[in-house]
C-alpha cells in the first residue's frame, strides 16, 4: 500500500468504527494516522495495534473494534446486530399537553385530573395519559443528596487554612491579621440505577427509563444507569442527551435484550466487578422475577449492601396493597434492601426522587 491510498482507507476504517459506536472522533483519527507513520502501515498487526491504541477508549470498545477490523480489512461481513427491532413511540412534549386526537379540547390537564393520574398504575394508562405522565417525567426535577468530598475549599468556617493566612500575611509584611478557614467541599452523592428490562417488566421499563433520564439530568456526572435483562448494558451516555425523546430512542437501540428473561444475580455480579457502587445510592428497579439462582442474587446483594451507601429497590408490584415479596429473587434480596418502594405511579416516582434527595421514606 503506498502513501497515497492509505489515507482514505484508514479514515474509512475510523468512520466504520464510529458507525459501530466506538468514539473514534477526528482527534483520535489523527492520532491513528500519526501512529501509522511510526509503524509499518503495510503490516496487518501494526495497523491493528495502531488503531486499537488510538481509536478505542474503553474495554467495551475492544470487541467492537475487533469485529470492525475483521470486517473492514478482511471483508468478513459484520454480524447483524443481535438487537431486536424495538418500536418506540415518540411522545413529543408540546406545551399544551402532548398528543391528542383531533376534536379533543385543547386544555392542559387540570389539577384534579393530574391528581388522579398521579396515583394511577402506569401499566393501565391510555396512550394519552401515558404521554401526559411522560411529559411530567421529562419536567421532573429530582434533587440529590450531598456528601462531603475530601477536597478542601475556602470556607467561612471549618479548619484553619494556613496557605491563605500566610499569603495574606505576606501582603502585610508578615503579620497575620485575619484567620482564614477551609472546609470539605460538598458533592452530589453518586446514584447508580439498574433498570430491569425483562419481559415481566415490559409495562414499566419505558417509564422507569424516563425516570432514569430525569435522575441523570439532575446530576449527569454523578449518575450511572444500566439496563439489566439477560445482560448488563450501560445507558449513561444515551441518557445524558437532554431531549427525552432522543434519549429514549437511543436507549432502545442500545438495549440488546429488551423483554427477555432476567438473570439479575449474574448481572449484579458483573456490575460489582468494577466497584462503581462504592459509596453510591444504588437503585434497582425490578419485580424480582429471577431466572437464575436466587441464592446467587442474595450473595451479590449482600456484597452490594456492604459497598453501597444505600440500596433502594423499586418494585412496580409493591403499589398493590395485597403484594407480598414472595418471588424467589425478591425474598433473597430483601434482607439487604434499605428502602423498598413502589414503582408503578408518578406518586411513587416522586417518593423515589425524594429518597435520592435525602428525604426519608414515608412508608418503607
152 binds another protein (CB under 8 A): yes
Q: Which grid cell sits at 151?
A: 477536597
From the list 135-143, 145-153, 210-218, 254-262, the region that binds another protein by CB under 8 A is 145-153
For residues 175 and 167, the answer to whether their CB atoms sit within 8 Å is no
Q: Among 16, 18, 20, 31, which residue interacts with another protein (rule: CB under 8 A)?
A: 31
Contact yes or no for 66/20 (Cβ under 8 A):
no
What's the closest the beta carbon of residue 186 comes to another protein, in angstroms? 13
Q: Are 280 and 312 in contact (CB under 8 A)?
A: no
Alpha helices in the chain (DSSP H): 3-19, 26-38, 44-55, 61-74, 111-119, 127-139, 162-171, 202-218, 236-239, 244-254, 264-273, 294-307, 328-333, 346-356
Q: Between 172 and 191, how does the x/- string for binding to another protein read (CB under 8 A)? A: -xx------------x----
Name which position in 170, 179, 202, 364 contacts another protein (CB under 8 A). Answer: 170
Residues facing 342 on adjacent strands: 315
Q: Of residues 27, 77, 106, 126, which one binds another protein by CB under 8 A?
A: 27
Closest to 303 measured CA to CA, from 341, 339, 273: 273
Q: How far is the CB of 326 from another protein (least distance, A)?
A: 28
Site mask, another protein, residues 80-119, x = CB under 8 A?
----------------------------------------
Least separation in angstroms between CB 6 and another protein: 17
> Smallest distance, Å, CB 121 to another protein?
36
Q: Across the strands, what pairs with 155?
A: 181
In angstroms, give the least distance from the CB of 228 to another protein. 18
Of residues 50, 133, 191, 216, which one binds another protein by CB under 8 A?
50
State which of residues 54, 134, 218, 252 lies at the interface with another protein (CB under 8 A).
54
Minimum gap (Å) between residue 282 Cβ and another protein:
14
Please give the distance of CA 295 from its chain centroid, rounded to a whole number.
26
In the chain the first and final C-alpha atoms are separated, in Å, by: 67
The H or E element that residue 199 is part of is none
Report the distance separating Cα 257 and Cα 197, nearest Å: 8
Among 28, 135, 291, 344, binds another protein (CB under 8 A): 28
Asked if 151 is part of the footprint of another protein (rule: CB under 8 A), the reply reads: yes
- Candidates 11, 5, 72; CA nearest to 44 is 72
Comparing CA positions, the residue from 318, 310, 309 lying closest to residue 342 is: 318
Residues binding another protein (CB under 8 A): 23, 25, 27-28, 31, 34-35, 38-39, 45-46, 49-50, 52-54, 56-59, 62, 149-152, 162-163, 166-167, 169-170, 173-174, 187, 221, 269, 274-276, 278, 303
Amino acid at each position: 500500500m503506498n502513501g497515497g491510498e492509505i489515507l482514505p482507507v484508514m479514515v474509512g476504517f475510523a468512520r466504520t468504527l464510529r458507525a459501530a459506536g466506538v468514539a473514534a472522533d477526528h482527534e483520535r483519527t489523527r492520532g491513528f494516522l500519526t501512529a501509522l507513520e511510526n509503524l509499518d502501515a503495510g503490516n496487518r498487526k501494526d495497523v491493528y495495534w495502531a488503531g486499537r491504541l488510538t481509536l478505542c477508549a474503553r474495554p467495551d470498545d475492544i470487541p467492537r473494534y475487533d469485529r470492525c477490523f475483521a470486517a473492514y480489512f478482511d471483508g468478513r461481513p459484520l454480524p447483524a446486530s443481535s438487537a431486536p427491532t424495538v418500536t418506540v413511540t415518540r411522545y413529543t412534549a408540546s406545551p399544551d399537553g402532548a398528543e391528542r386526537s383531533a376534536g379533543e379540547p385543547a386544555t392542559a390537564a387540570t389539577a384534579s385530573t393530574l391528581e388522579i393520574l398521579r396515583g394511577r398504575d402506569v401499566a393501565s394508562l391510555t396512550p394519552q395519559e401515558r404521554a401526559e405522565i411522560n411529559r411530567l417525567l421529562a419536567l421532573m426535577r429530582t434533587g440529590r443528596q450531598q456528601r462531603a468530598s475530601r477536597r478542601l475549599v475556602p470556607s467561612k468556617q471549618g479548619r484553619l487554612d494556613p496557605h491563605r493566612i500566610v499569603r495574606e500575611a505576606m501582603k502585610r509584611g508578615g503579620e497575620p491579621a485575619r484567620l482564614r478557614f477551609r472546609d470539605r467541599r460538598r458533592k452530589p452523592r453518586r446514584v447508580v440505577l439498574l433498570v430491569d428490562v425483562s419481559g415481566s417488566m415490559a409495562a414499566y421499563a419505558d417509564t422507569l427509563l424516563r425516570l432514569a433520564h430525569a435522575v441523570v439530568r439532575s446530576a449527569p456526572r454523578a449518575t450511572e444507569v444500566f439496563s439489566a435483562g439477560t445482560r448488563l448494558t450501560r445507558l449513561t451516555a444515551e441518557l445524558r442527551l437532554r431531549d427525552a425523546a432522543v434519549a429514549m430512542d437511543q436507549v432502545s437501540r442500545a438495549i440488546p435484550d429488551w423483554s427477555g428473561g432476567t438473570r439479575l444475580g449474574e448481572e449484579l455480579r458483573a456490575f460489582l466487578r468494577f466497584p462503581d457502587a462504592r459509596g453510591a445510592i444504588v437503585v434497582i428497579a425490578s419485580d424480582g422475577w429471577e431466572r437464575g439462582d436466587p441464592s446467587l442474587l442474595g450473595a451479590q446483594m449482600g456484597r452490594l449492601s456492604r459497598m453501597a451507601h444505600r440500596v433502594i429497590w423499586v418494585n412496580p408490584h409493591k403499589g398493590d396493597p395485597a403484594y407480598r415479596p414472595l418471588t424467589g429473587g425478591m425474598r433473597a434480596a430483601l434482607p439487604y434492601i434499605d428502602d423498598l418502594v413502589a414503582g408503578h405511579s408518578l406518586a411513587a416516582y416522586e417518593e423515589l426522587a425524594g429518597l435520592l434527595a435525602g428525604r426519608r421514606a414515608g412508608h418503607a
